[in-house]
Structure 1
Amino acid sequence: MPKISRRASQTPSSKIRRVFNKSLGHDDWVKFTVGEPDFDTDQTIIEAAYQAALMGNTHYVHNAGIFPLRQQLAKKFYEDQHLTVNPETELMVTNGGTEAIYLALQAIVEPGDEVIMPGPQWTPYPMLTTLNHGKAVICKVHEKDGFQYTEENLRRSITPNSRILILNSPCNPTGGMAGRSTLEMVAKVAKEFDLWVLSDEVYEKLVYDGNEHISIASLPEMKERTIIINSFSKSYAMTGWRVGFMMAPAALMQVMVKLHELETSCCNVPAQYAALAALNMDQVVTGRMLEQYAKRREILVKGLNRISGVSCVPPKGTFYAFANVKELGVPSDELVERMMDEVGLAVVPGTAFGEDGEGFLRFSFAVSEKTIEEGLERFETFVKSLRQ
């Protein structure tokens, strides 16, 4: 058999999908696995895609995306973050947020360059880094610090080969958010060591308790070294539409648009019109989803903290609770396998997000209140069985 790329073949599969796949076909299980809204896409958005297709908008468009959508995204950046963005040269529509991250790493990383990322981290960060010939450098973040970088641990992670620093706020899997003081510290370090900052802001609209999402690109002298990654998936329940977007300095964007052309040409065109409708419609739709998530978050976090040996800091953003189960004395992977087999409960082990996730479990609360309550009962039953 002809040779297969070792780099590609050795890229590990996601533990999230492993748990998800094992749960398939078990309709009686309670599942807190995949990070996907349980709401349907709003009819206004669906209708816009349908009408776009009927009107013949089914052909190639500019590689960076349809201009009306880029114009509206520029308006969004100005209204949300007071960022002035040129829709012609600094914005691109991508096939989801993951492709945007891949493009950024392709455009910047040379063999051996280091990409600093938090540990725990969203699963694809280290994999995409490796596929682009880079080296993932894990900067461990701690629960006591809100799962955010500290200046001490960040500086320890930097070497002469450091090129990019990944910032994920609000963060999957921890639910942590970077406040202004943390962002100012990261900005100071990035400027001192001349680093790019890849700011993953996919969960920007899903924040609680009066917390405010701030983009690091809005800080002084940071727009010129920041790549913002975002998506319509979470805020508008559009995961399957695969529409993401990115903002970056014009010189870098020019390179990424070229790479995007080579890989996928452009994002699905009717889906781009759907995304445009999402931005233009009454944003109360997203607000209603957030209200439901807030209620579910309260039920889940309170329930987890009532279980002996389990603790959970309320997430400031996202729809994930990152529960500390270290007192149970059982490795996260084993806990997850046993819970599926013994009580029909599927959650994601913290190790799905790197070795620094050991001792934690990620619960997605993008599920109904009834599901959360049933899941808490099963989890408590399981934990009690460990004590017997």
Structure 2
Amino acid sequence: MRDFVSESAKRLEASPIRAILDRAAALRASGKDVIPFSAGEPDFPTPEPIKQAAMKAIADNYSHYASNRGLPALRKILSRMIETSTSVSYDPESEILITSSGAEALNNSLLTFINPGDEVIIPTPAFVSYKNLVKFAGGTFVDVPLRAENGFQLDADEIERHITPRTKMIVLNNPNNPSGAVYERAALEKVSELAVRHDLLVISDEMYSRLVYDDAEFISMAALPGMRERTIVISGFSKSYAMTGWRLGYIAADKALTGMILKVHQYSTTCSPTFIQQGLVDSLELPETEAAVKDMLSAFTRRREAIVKGLQAIDGITPVVPKGAFYVLVDVSATGLTGADFALKLLEEFSVATVPAIGLGDSCGDYIRISYAASDENIAEGLKRLEAFMKSLKKD
């Protein structure tokens, strides 16, 4: 039989995050109590007003096609929310597009603008999807490793050194998964100057924009001079609203960009589930919904403090203190193990699921990623098991 697999599909790599999740699920099925430090999934329930409104939307027969762009009322709400949080104004009629998850938004944006041979600069460590979607589109992934000693902050000079005549786009994730870095204004301004000078597009994945800590300040790339017309902002509801399984995201960008992305969207999902959209229309701006979100944000702040303090107290590993999102990168090189070997042994021997960071950046082979989207109880137990694991390594 001939090889039927497309060259695009062959360029994809299996997600190391999913591999860990699948193995953890198998261990749970066998009776193991696995601590979930791997998935970026808040353990909170979706805010009650959203659930009730979605159920009412089903009962009210919001079960038919919506506009390809999404329900107009939801786009108007998002336009208001974006302008309030970033000062950037988008026309809800032509510059906001509802997608079935942030993942679809990323996929459609890259497929719309990347031709075979186009170079896409991605500062790493970075979410595993970026590299693979660039390759799927036929583009060339250009890795710009960031430095742990600099808190994985953006390095505009290093980015500039990687720009060539074939460079078309820069992909940023701010706050960053997996490093927890929140990019500083000065660095973002330098990168924006590069984008304008070299006439580049920027995808700005802002899924974690509400999850910032200490003195960190989230700044949307689109808010910087000259960037609104060349920035594709991607976000959604999975992280801040604990809606990972609902699969709803959105794109905000200049109408010249969203108009083209819309065509790809039309042939991928047509439209996102209407009852979910209507449920958000009826609940997103309710005070009760915002109160539930603020409670979750407060919990993440508490959990971040607990996980960082606990990791810093364990000899032989070094956490990089995050300023945003809900992940910690941990340097395990002092153990003599790679991040991949460390994560595998920790999972198999002590039932703690983490992610080997090598899958998130070629320079991150000495790191694991820990998600503190887990419950307070799981964080406490996971830290105990991690400490016991480190003691067991010293005995070997």
CA, structure 1 residues 246+278, in 2 after alignment: closer, same or farther (shift >3 Å)? farther
User: Residue 154 of structure 2 is aligned with which of 149, 170, 186?
Assistant: 149
The corresponding residue for 1:225 is 230
Q: Secondary structure at the match of 1:251?
A: helix
User: Residue 190 of structure 2 is aligned with which of 180, 185, 191?
Assistant: 185
Distance in 2 between residues matched to 1:274 and 1:362, nearest whole Å: 34
The amino acid across from 1:334 in the alignment is: D
The amino acid across from 1:145 in the alignment is: N
Deviation digits for residues 202-228 of structure 1 (CA, Å, limit 9, x no counterpart): 001111114221101011111011000
Q: How far has the Cα of 1:56 moved from its partner? A: 2.1
The corresponding residue for 1:312 is 319
The CA RMSD over aligned residues, in Å, is 1.3
Q: How far has the Cα of 1:163 moved from its partner? A: 0.5
Is the 2:111–2:137 Cα contact (8 Å) retained in structure 1? yes
Q: Does 1:104 align with 2:105?
A: no
Number of residue pairs the alignment of both structures matches: 388
Is the 2:11–2:132 Cα contact (8 Å) retained in structure 1? no
CA, structure 1 residues 358+367, in 2 after alignment: closer, same or farther (shift >3 Å)? same
Distance in 2 between residues matched to 1:251 and 1:267, nearest whole Å: 22
The corresponding residue for 1:163 is 168
Distance in 1 between residues matched to 2:293 and 2:184, nearest whole Å: 23
Give the % identical residues: 37
The corresponding residue for 1:253 is 258
Unaligned runs of 5+ in 2: none
Distance in 2 between residues matched to 1:346 and 1:184, nearest whole Å: 37
Is the 1:336–1:349 Cα contact (8 Å) retained in structure 2? yes
Is the 1:149–1:182 Cα contact (8 Å) retained in structure 2? yes
Distance in 1 between residues matched to 2:11 and 2:240, nearest whole Å: 33
Q: Does 1:116 align with 2:151?
A: no
The amino acid across from 1:5 in the alignment is: S
Is the 1:142–1:148 Cα contact (8 Å) retained in structure 2? yes
Correspondences of 1:219-298 after superposition (within 5 Å): 219-282=224-287, 283-298=290-305
Correspondences of 1:24-43 after superposition (within 5 Å): 24=25, 25-26=27-28, 27-43=32-48
TM score, norm. by length of structure 1: 0.97
Q: Secondary structure at the match of 1:357?
A: coil
User: Residue 52 of structure 1 is aligned with which of 57, 79, 83?
Assistant: 57
The amino acid across from 2:342 in the alignment is: L
User: Residue 371 of structure 2 is aligned with which of 364, 373, 376?
Assistant: 364
Q: How far has the Cα of 1:376 moved from its partner? A: 1.0
Is the 1:232–1:275 Cα contact (8 Å) retained in structure 2? no
Q: Secondary structure at the match of 1:49?
A: helix
Q: Does 1:377 align with 2:375?
A: no
Q: Does 1:346 align with 2:353?
A: yes
The corresponding residue for 2:18 is 17
Distance in 1 between residues matched to 2:229 and 2:390, nearest whole Å: 50
Q: Secondary structure at the match of 2:245?
A: helix
Distance in 2 between residues matched to 1:212 and 1:10, nearest whole Å: 37
Q: How far has the Cα of 1:10 moved from its partner? A: 4.3
Distance in 2 between residues matched to 1:29 and 1:54, nearest whole Å: 38
Deviation digits for residues 126-172 of structure 1 (CA, Å, limit 9, x no counterpart): 11111111111111111122212212211111111111101111000
Distance in 2 between residues matched to 1:177 and 1:298, nearest whole Å: 17
Unaligned runs of 5+ in 1: none
Is the 2:206–2:233 Cα contact (8 Å) retained in structure 1? yes
Distance in 1 between residues matched to 2:189 and 2:298, nearest whole Å: 30
Is the 1:70–1:91 Cα contact (8 Å) retained in structure 2? yes
Distance in 2 between residues matched to 1:186 and 1:174, nearest whole Å: 19
Distance in 2 between residues matched to 1:345 and 1:77, nearest whole Å: 37
Q: How far has the Cα of 1:279 moved from its partner? A: 2.5
The corresponding residue for 1:198 is 203
The corresponding residue for 1:73 is 78
Q: Secondary structure at the match of 1:240?
A: coil
Q: Secondary structure at the match of 1:158?
A: coil
Is the 1:90–1:250 Cα contact (8 Å) retained in structure 2? yes
Distance in 2 between residues matched to 1:326 and 1:158, nearest whole Å: 32
Distance in 2 between residues matched to 1:60 and 1:30, nearest whole Å: 40
Q: Does 1:212 align with 2:213?
A: no
CA, structure 1 residues 366+277, in 2 after alignment: closer, same or farther (shift >3 Å)? farther
Q: Secondary structure at the match of 2:251?
A: strand
Distance in 2 between residues matched to 1:191 and 1:143, nearest whole Å: 28
Runs of 4 or more, structure 1, over 3 Å off, are none
Q: Does 1:330 align with 2:331?
A: no
Is the 1:236–1:278 Cα contact (8 Å) retained in structure 2? no
The corresponding residue for 2:362 is 355
Deviation digits for residues 223-260 of structure 1 (CA, Å, limit 9, x no counterpart): 01100000111010111111100111111111111111
Q: Secondary structure at the match of 1:361?
A: strand
Is the 1:95–1:267 Cα contact (8 Å) retained in structure 2? yes
Is the 2:90–2:254 Cα contact (8 Å) retained in structure 1? no
Distance in 2 between residues matched to 1:250 and 1:36, nearest whole Å: 32
The amino acid across from 1:170 in the alignment is: P
Q: How far has the Cα of 1:6 moved from its partner? A: 3.2
Q: How far has the Cα of 1:278 moved from its partner? A: 4.5
The amino acid across from 1:311 in the alignment is: T
TM score, norm. by length of structure 2: 0.95
Q: Does 1:129 align with 2:130?
A: no
Greater displacement, 270-279 / 104-113: 270-279
Is the 2:56–2:279 Cα contact (8 Å) retained in structure 1? no
The amino acid across from 1:303 in the alignment is: G
